[in-house]
Chains A and B, each alone.
Chain A
Amino acid sequence: MASTSFWSSLKEEARRNYIAIFEQEWPTWLAGIFLALVALLIFLWQGPWGVAAGYRNLGDWIFYAVGAGEERPYSMWLHPITLTNTGLIVGALVSALMSRQFKLHRAPPLEYAKSLMGGVFMGAGAVLAAGCNVGGFYTAAAMFDMGGLAMMAGLIAGAWIGLRYLLWEMEHLQQRGVAQHPPKESWLKAQPFMGGTFLVLVIASFYTFAVLEKTELGGLLFFGFLIGLIMHRSRFCFVRAFRCPFMTGDAEMVKVVAMSLMIYGMGTAVIKWAWIQEPAMGVNHNFWMGSLFGGVIFGIGMLLAGGCASSTLWRIGEGQTKMVVTLLGFALTNSLLATVLKNFDLYDKMGQGRFIPDTLSWYVTVPSFLVFFVFWAFVAIWNEKSEKLVMF
């Protein structure tokens, strides 16, 4: 009769929830809803969510550290996007540890080379498009900037080209697998405790920022942490939405990203229409040349690397060593190309943001936006059955 006390019932319930949260994978559609909600919270809290500028901040610092930059870059611990990105990595790390899945993964040599090239392509594409798959596409589209839709077209084309390359590589280059180290029992047992320690550190960081009167930055770190957790638990990958229709015909991620964008976009419409945030906020993408061509280059890169700007971060958190190479390639290329374009005054020639409601009014924009993404999902669903777009 020991199991009827309040504490034992609490313990049993906690155990059950732990299994549901950290041992079973979350459905991607649920993650799509959560992601849109956290992105909206970030928009209300500070401004539109992005990722690439954090990579650039890291690249700037690496160049500065080797003496290549004149100006001291923005401090990393005060850079809003570096903080969300850090939170994202730590969130995935906590999630991987809590689920006893953290492991240093080794990849065959060719994979490291592809990861580097993928990072270089993504870094370059993100400069042209003024954002990555998050800032340049997901957020830009939800902010009603035409640049987001132009980048989406580019990403689809880039994914097509990138998949062509992967198929070619598979036919022409032999590759053998690499044995991995089996995890030790004691390591598996220790993981949840380490995860708990990191969780406490994130919360402590938030309060530290708050004490320093930088609550806004602490919040961004925490929101990044939530995104990392959501993405790792569901293995949320934007690349799939662009690649799978050509590869297996699978439409699931297209449906999830389309739905997530509809929620994110409608939330933004409320916030902007009601002037809670400036309507022009986040409308700064390079429509149309930069967004379109940047999208193509970025799309090729994300296929080579096997991850986009956001999934590179959460995969680092779960121990994929090759993604660290992608991170460095992305950061350095992005920092370098941005400086070059700025010095040659080329940046403004890539285009400029176009706020869709300025042209179409809110009344037409909102339904058109919904119809557009429903249409994308339906093309993918049709393709799943007909396999008309599947490459091989």
Chain B
Amino acid sequence: MDLHNIEAHSTLDARGLTCPMPLLRTKKTLKGVPEGEVLEIWGTDPGSKNDIPHFGAKNGNTFLGLYDDDEGYTRYFIRKG
């Protein structure tokens, strides 16, 4: 799947936040995402690179992938299951 062309239903800007806030906000925001839609998360905490993929694959959701943006942050994609 080409992550660069994903149309996300909503985007969560967690840049500058550190553990556990990015994960906490992801969990909360994901609750408001309709099933089948994609949530995109922007983060800068190095710990999120483990946490978000791990969490995004639980509870029937799918973690679609992540990549480092040129602007110095990481973009994560989770499809609500």
A interface residues (Cβ-Cβ under 8 A, vs B): 25, 101, 105-108, 111, 166-167, 170, 175-183, 235, 237, 239, 243, 247-248, 250, 306-307, 315, 318, 320, 322, 392
Let me know if B18 and A320 touch, CB within 8 A. yes
Say yes or no: A108-B71 contact (C-beta < 8 A), given A170-B28, A180-B44.
Answer: no
Provide the residues of chain A in CB contact with B28, threshold 8 Å.
170, 392
Say yes or no: A180-B50 contact (C-beta < 8 A), given A166-B21, A166-B24, A170-B24.
Answer: no
Secondary structure at the A interface, as helix, strand, loop or mixed, is loop
Q: How far is the CA of A108 from the CA of B18 in the complex (A)?
A: 10
Let me know if A235 and B72 touch, CB within 8 A. no
Q: For the complex, is B46 an interface residue (Cβ under 8 Å from A)?
A: yes
Q: For the complex, is B16 an interface residue (Cβ under 8 Å from A)?
A: yes
Q: How far is the CA of A243 from the CA of B23 in the complex (A)?
A: 12
Let me know if A177 and B15 touch, CB within 8 A. yes
Provide the residues of chain A in CB contact with B54, threshold 8 Å.
250
| Residue-wise interface mask of B (35-75) relative to A, using a CB-CB cutoff of 8 A (1 in contact, 0 not) | 00000001011110010001100100000000000111100
Interface members, chain B 1-31 (any A CB < 8 Å): 13-21, 23-25, 27-28
Provide the residues of chain A in CB contact with B15, threshold 8 Å.
177-180
Let me know if B16 and A248 touch, CB within 8 A. no
Let me know if A107 and B72 touch, CB within 8 A. no
Q: How far is the CA of A306 from the CA of B48 in the complex (A)?
A: 13
Let me know if A167 and B24 touch, CB within 8 A. yes
Q: Which residue of A lies closest to B49 (CB)?
A: A25
CB contact between A247 and one of B20, B44, B46, B72 (< 8 Å): that residue: B20
Q: How far is the CA of A26 from the CA of B18 in the complex (A)?
A: 20
Q: How far is the CA of A178 from the CA of B21 in the complex (A)?
A: 14
Provide the residues of chain A in CB contact with B20, threshold 8 Å.
166, 239, 243, 247, 306
Q: Which residue of A lies closest to B29 (CB)?
A: A170
Say yes or no: A247-B19 contact (C-beta < 8 A), given A180-B44, A180-B72.
Answer: no
Q: How far is the CA of A183 from the CA of B70 in the complex (A)?
A: 9
Q: Which residue of B lies closest to A166 (CB)?
A: B24
Using A180-B71, A180-B73 as known contacts, list a sample of 19 further A-B pairs with CB atoms less than 8 Å apart, ordered by residue number in A: A105-B45, A107-B16, A107-B18, A108-B16, A111-B16, A166-B20, A167-B24, A176-B13, A179-B15, A180-B15, A180-B72, A235-B46, A237-B19, A239-B20, A247-B24, A306-B19, A318-B46, A392-B27, A392-B28
- Tell me the smallest distance from the CB of A75 to a CB of chain B, in Å: 33
Say yes or no: A248-B17 contact (C-beta < 8 A), given A101-B46, A235-B47.
Answer: no
- Tell me the smallest distance from the CB of B37 to a CB of chain A, in Å: 21
Q: How far is the CA of A25 from the CA of B55 in the complex (A)?
A: 18
Say yes or no: A175-B17 contact (C-beta < 8 A), given A180-B72, A182-B70.
Answer: yes
